[in-house]
Structure 1
Amino acid sequence: MTVRVCSLITNGPQLIAPDTYTVVRFPYGSAESYDRYDMHPATQPDGYVVTDPENDDRAGLIWPAADGWGTLTAMIQWEAAGYTELRDQFVRDPLGLTDNPVDTTATDHRPPSPGMQCFTKHHEIFVHPGVPLALRVSHNDGAPRRLVLAEFKLAVHPT
């Protein structure tokens, strides 16, 4: 039984508007960290093709390669700014592309620390090939702020 892994990284930066959860987008090709099982395809399972990954939320989707127990991991780094709360979550079908409801999980609201904001998170859920996953972030500053680095990883353990 093979564990299937997808490991994405972006060093953007991505400008995130305040008070709105935003899908973190990840690059393709040589800029992609590891995707041996094609879980972060530019040509998506429904036929849609991501042509502008910097501006298309679909560039943030991981499509699990198999049914199984999914280990989700993320690393998030924000610029230092005037927020009092930083937010992040994992979400099933964040764009409403399937018949499954949008389903958020592992939502964290964090107070900032001095300097750059660096966080990691880990969560585990059941995953399915037809239901994409994403990492979403938000903040409560009065202006858009930069997400300067992010990683999003999925390991699918067969059940």
Structure 2
Amino acid sequence: MARCGCGGGDQCACALVAGPGIALAGNGSSTDPYVITAEAAVEPEPPSPLSVQVCSLILGNAQPQTIPNDGSYHVVRFPFDTESYDAYGMHSSVQPDGGQVLDWRTNDRSGLIWPSRDGWGSLTAVIQWEAGDYTELRDQYVRDPLGLTSNPNDTTGTVHRPPSPGIQCWSKHHELFVHPDVPLALRVSHNASTPKKIILAQFKLAIYV
């Protein structure tokens, strides 16, 4: 809506309301007009929808892994034939760097998740130990635990835990940037007097892009 008021001479004052919160005003004459131009509004591009790529591994209680009582961290290994979910090929026996796993029970490569793409990664794990005479249990996530890159054993999310009575049941969560050429693993350690079994484990990566 526009309103103009002119005095006795050639000079006029105009006010224009173009919409909610949009108002213009100015003075003009026949020799020096006040000109308003309108351009079509350009709507900004909507943001791309968020997508998630997921790998979810499980070590069932029918396939426990024995962890030595040597004070060192050990990669938790996962079978290839009982995947919980791996639609993006992040846990394969033939791996992106050319390595191949023939027996998942003896090869630490079976514990690697190779991210399918760059992105923000959400790591989740479940760890259940058999009962034992522990005084401490440890677990951590690690980038490249096997020395396959120029920056191996880059650990994060390390936790030292006191034991509870009976079997030990834990879950853990951590977030980080992930990359396709840097594999990830879950590692554990304990200080019992004898080797102890992990009776259930889960290892999950969700990549948000």
| Alignment TM-score > 0.5, same fold | yes
Question: Which structure has the greater CA radius of gyration?
Answer: 2
- Of 47, 59, 62, which residue of structure 2 is paired with 1:10? 59
Runs ≥4 residues deviating over 2 A:
none
Amino acid at match of 2:58: I
Number of matched pairs: 157
* Cα distance in structure 2, aligned partners of 1:69 and 1:145: 34
1:100 to partner: Cα distance:
2.2
Confirm or deny that 1:22 pairs with 2:71. Answer: no
TM-score, normalised to structure 1, is 0.96
Aligned-pair RMSD on alpha carbons? 0.8
* Cα distance in structure 1, aligned partners of 2:73 and 2:130: 17
1:41 to partner: Cα distance:
1.0
Q: Quick check: 1:2–1:157 contact (8 Å CA) kept in 2?
A: yes
- Cα deviations by residue, 1:80-109 (Å, 9 ceiling, x for unpaired): 000100100000000011122321000001
Match in the other structure for 1:65: 116
* Cα distance in structure 2, aligned partners of 1:48 and 1:105: 24
Match in the other structure for 1:79: 130
Unaligned runs of 5+ in 2: 1-49
Q: Per the alignment, in what secondary structure is the counterpart of residue 57 of structure 2? A: strand
Unaligned runs of 5+ in 1: none
1:50 to partner: Cα distance:
0.4
TM-score, normalised to structure 2, is 0.74
* Cα distance in structure 1, aligned partners of 2:205 and 2:132: 30
The alignment-based identity, stated in percent, is 65
